[in-house]
Amino acid sequence: MKIAYFDTISGISGDMTLGAFISAGISIDELNSELRELKLDGFELSAHHITRNGIVAVQADVVISEQPHYHRHLKDIESLIDHSGLSLHVKERAKKIFHEVAVAEAKVHDTDIEKIHFHEVGAIDSIVDIVGAAICIEILGIQAVYTSAIKVGNGGTVNAQHGMLPVPTPATMEILRDYPIILTDVPYELTTPTGAAIVKALSNGVLNTEKIQVSAIGYGAGGREIDQLPNILRVLVGELETQYLSDEIVSIETNIDDMNPEIYPYVIEKLLAAGANDAYLFPIVMKKGRPGVLFSVLVERTKIDSMLEIIFRETTTLGVRIQPVERKKLSRANKQVNTSFGFITVKVITVEGKEQLRAEFEECKRIALEKNIPIIEVYRILERELSS
C-alpha cells in the first residue's frame, strides 16, 4: 500500500505540507494547473529552495495579487470546491479538512459551524494550502497517510484575527484533541490550524515499528529560523511493507448485573459516536448466580478518558478493567466508483495484494430508499457490478 508519512520535525502547516510534496517530486506547474480548476482568481503558487540547519528544503508561497475584503463561511468554501473542476477525491479530502477546522472553531467560540467565519483559513492562501495538499495526495496515488506524534510550540503567543492567542492556539488544540502530540520548549506556532486539520482529516494514525520501502523524500520549510530545531516538515512516500496493518488499541471491560437492559443500546450508540472502534455485550453469570452482562469497548488509547466519562455517567458500573490489545487489520480505503446507481462510495480492501470492492451499508440504504427497492436487491446488484 502506497503511503505518505508526515515526520513533524518542527510541526506542520499548510505551506510546509505543499513544500514537502514539491520537494518529494510534485511538479509546481502541474500543481498550479490543478489549482486553477478552483476558478479562484488573484493568486499564484511559487516555490524556492531554502536551507534549514544545512538541510535543503522547499518553501512554498502563495503570492496574492488580490486579497478579498470579506470572510467566507464553510458553505461558501464547500460551494467553491464543489463547483470546481477538481476530481471527486480531491473535493472530498479538501472539504473534510475544512470541516475539521469549522468544528474546532465552532467549539472554541461556542457557536454553530454554519456561523463560523473563516478568517485566516478562509483566506486565499489557506484555501490553496488545503486544496493543494489534497491534490498532491491524488497526484502521488497515496492510499493512506500516517504521521509521527505532532510537535507543537509551547509558551509563546501568535497574533490572529481575534488578537493575541496562546501557542498552541485553541483551534489547533481542539483539532488535535485525541491525536498524539508533543509539547516542545519552542515558543512559536509550530503547528497551525491548517496543518492540524490536514493531519486530523487525512491521517490513519501514528506509525510505530512498521517497515516502509521509501521511494521519495521531501522537505518543506517553515517561515522562520528556529534555534532549537530545524524548521522543516519531512514527508516520506513509499510502500508499507506489512501484509497487515498493525496497531494497538485498548479494551475497556466491566461486568454489570443491575442495569435496565434497555439502556445498553443507548450507551453503545454514544460510545461509537464518541470514537469507539467497537462496543458489544456478552451474557455472563455473576456471583450468587445472577445473570449479568460483560460490557466491552475497544478504543484507541488517546480516547480512554472520553470513553470512561460516558461509561461512568451512563451505566451503573463502579469500575472497569483496561487492557492493551494488539490489532492486525487489512488495508482499507474508500473511493468513488461509477455503478448503475451512479457514483457511490465503496470500501477498498486489499487481500494478498489484490483489491476487493465492497459496498458500504449507508450507500445501499440510501439507494434502497431513493429507488424504493429492497436493500438486499441493491446489495446483489452492487456485488455483481463491483466483482466484474
User: What string of DSSP letters covers 278-297?
Assistant: EEEEEEEE-GGG-EEEEEEE
Q: Count of residues for the chain?
A: 388
C-alpha span between 105 and 100 (Å, rounded): 9
Cα separations in angstroms, 348 against 4, 133, 144, 244, 354: 18, 22, 12, 14, 10
Q: Do 79 and 204 belong together in one domain?
A: yes
Q: Which of 365, 366, 371, 364 lies closest to 386, judged by CA? A: 364
Q: Comparing 188 with 199, which gets the higher pLDDT?
A: 199
Please name the residues in contact with 212: beta carbons below 8 A apart, sequence gap of 6 or more. Answer: 3, 5, 236, 238, 239, 240, 241
The predicted structure's pLDDT at residue 311:
97
The predicted structure's pLDDT at residue 121:
47
Which DSSP string corresponds to 22-34?
Answer: HHTT--HHHHHHH
Does 123 score more than 80 pLDDT?
A: no
Which DSSP string corresponds to 318-386?
Answer: S--EEEEEEEEE-EEEEEEEEETTEEEEEEEEEETTEEEEEE-HHHHHHHHHHHT--HHHHHHHHHHHH
CATH, residue 350: 3.10.20.300
Residue 273, number of CB atoms within 10 A of its CB? 9
C-alpha span between 142 and 134 (Å, rounded): 10
Are the C-beta atoms of residues 124 and 68 closer than 8 Å to each other? yes
Does 340 score more than 70 pLDDT?
A: yes
**Burial of residue 2 (number of CB atoms within 10 Å: 0-12, 13-18, 19+):** middle
Residue 327, number of CB atoms within 10 A of its CB? 12
Q: Do 118 and 204 belong together in one domain?
A: yes
Q: Do 54 and 194 belong together in one domain?
A: yes
Q: What is the mean pLDDT of residues 231-252?
A: 86
Q: Do 43 and 90 belong together in one domain?
A: yes
Q: Do 184 and 292 belong together in one domain?
A: no
Q: Do 319 and 348 belong together in one domain?
A: no
Peptide bond preceding 168 in cis form (omega within 30 of 0): yes
The predicted structure's pLDDT at residue 351:
72
Which of 219, 240, 261 is the C-terminal boundary of a domain? 240
Map residue 129 onto helix, strand or coil.
helix
Q: Do 201 and 266 belong together in one domain?
A: no
The predicted structure's pLDDT at residue 112:
76
The predicted structure's pLDDT at residue 167:
73
Residue 284 structural domain: 247-329
Q: How many domains does the chain have?
A: 3
Q: Do 172 and 303 belong together in one domain?
A: no
In this structure, the strands spanning 157-160 and 291-299 are: unpaired
The predicted structure's pLDDT at residue 68:
56
Which of 240, 258, 280 is the C-terminal boundary of a domain? 240
Q: List pLDDT tens digits, range 164-194.
A: 777 788 889 999 988 999 998 888 889 999 9
Map residue 66 onto helix, strand or coil.
coil
**Burial of residue 296 (number of CB atoms within 10 Å: 0-12, 13-18, 19+):** middle
Most confident of 30-39, 67-76, 331-340: 30-39
C-alpha span between 278 and 296 (Å, rounded): 8
Most confident of 5-9, 69-73, 161-165, 357-361: 5-9
Q: Do 189 and 42 belong together in one domain?
A: yes
Confidence at 115, pLDDT banded by 50, 70, 90: low
pTM score: 0.64
The predicted structure's pLDDT at residue 278:
96
Q: Do 61 and 43 belong together in one domain?
A: yes
CATH, residue 311: 3.30.70.1380
Phi, psi of 12 (to 5 degrees): -155, 140
**Burial of residue 319 (number of CB atoms within 10 Å: 0-12, 13-18, 19+):** exposed
Q: Do 325 and 335 belong together in one domain?
A: no
Which of 221, 240, 259 is the C-terminal boundary of a domain? 240
Percent of the chain residues past pLDDT 70, beyond the cut: 93
Strand order in the sheet with 203-206: 43-52, 55-64, 212-221, 232-240, 2-7, 144-147, 203-206
The predicted structure's pLDDT at residue 281:
97
Percent of the chain residues past pLDDT 90, beyond the cut: 62
Backbone dihedral region for residue 42 (phi beyond 0: left; psi -120 to 50: alpha; all else: beta): left
Q: List pLDDT tens digits, range 296-339.
A: 999 998 899 999 999 999 999 999 999 999 888 887 778 888 89
Q: Do 379 and 255 belong together in one domain?
A: no
Q: List pLDDT tens digits, range 128-139.
A: 999 999 999 999
